[in-house]
Amino acid sequence: MTQALSNSDQFQRAAAEFSAHLGGGKTVLATTHVSADGDAVASLLAARQIIAALGSRAVCVLDGSVPCRFLFLPGADQILKPEQLSQALKASALDAAIVLDCGSLTRIGGVADIIPSGVPLINVDHHPDNASFAALNIVDPQASSTTEILFDLTMALDLPIAPDLAILLFAGLMSDTGGFRFSNTSQKTFRVAAALAQRGVNPFEIACTIYRTNSAGGLKMLGEALTSLELEADGRIAFMTASNRNPQEEYEDMVDFALTVQGVRAAALFRVGEGNCRVSLRANGDYDVATIARRFGGGGHQKAAGFTSQSSLLEVRRQVLEALHQEVADRAVSAANEE
């Protein structure tokens, strides 16, 4: 088990283990979390290219669909669903599996059922609540994104960064930092972005594709959510609800609109689908929504987390709002004690 920062000797050793596990003519299954976001899809596809550069073959499998705005990513059309894996290869032919951008195996959905027992697992992630579930865990909570860690691995292994790989790494970086707006954006993030731009990436084109490529259905979903906006806890909690007719068309970072209301410290978006309710949580300041998401089997970061529930909208909303009210109360007590 390894947990390492990119500038350490420990990371160099982890990179060597990464190459040993995944390089040299192996067949590797690569996957990421359900309800995949930009960093998840980009890191999945980037890992495929890195593994190819190491002389092996990776098959990308995802439980769910790639959001429409990320279909432009090189290789997105080659991502398989779990039930399609048998058409590509026999599970017994797998030599290893790599899980990207995912804090626990429960978050990869049905893909967990097709990974043979005994196959070495590699875990590359930047979530602070990562469960270190693999034989090799390369986890850096200080990284802005999983693609930033993959960039570090390519540097440590002295691998070439071809144009398609550069696009993937930059797209994940941009997506998980909200276009370099979120608090996880660091000086290093900009250095990595600059290095990728030097390799031919066009930041403007990628930004337009991610943030200005929406369907009519996605905008209608956004309108439905904005119309439903409600505030509680003296304006410190905001929540919205929308029908989740087609997750692929969902507007990027829709929940963030609730967080922009002046005075709001925590926000929730409830998206009602067929037999489930997807919940996105966001926070400002010291508020923590990751602990709330974990209670419901999800995960994420302190200020951005989520989960999917099979319960009814009314029940999920009641439980989440109760947890958010408790978070507001706890933060108020902490603030009072510090005075």
Please write the tens of the pLDDT for every residue from 126-141: 999 899 999 999 999 9
Split at pLDDT 50, 70, 90, the class of 90 is confident
216-338, what's its fold? Diaminopimelate Epimerase; Chain A, domain 1 (3.10.310)
pLDDT at 256: 93
Please write the tens of the pLDDT for every residue from 183-222: 899 999 999 999 999 999 999 999 999 998 888 888 999 9
% helix, strand, coil for the chain, step of 5: 45, 15, 40
The share of the chain scoring above pLDDT 90, in percent, equals 79
Q: Where are the domains of the chain?
A: 9-211, 216-338
Cβ contact 272:244 at 8 Å: yes
Cβ contact 225:291 at 8 Å: no
Helix (H) or strand (E) holding 54: none
**C-alpha 268: how far from its chain's center?**
17
Is domain 9-211 classified as CATH 3.10.450.50?
A: no
Residue 5 pLDDT > 70: no
pLDDT at 333: 75
pLDDT at 30: 98
Cβ contact 27:51 at 8 Å: no
Angle between helices 9-22 and 146-156 (to 10 degrees): 90
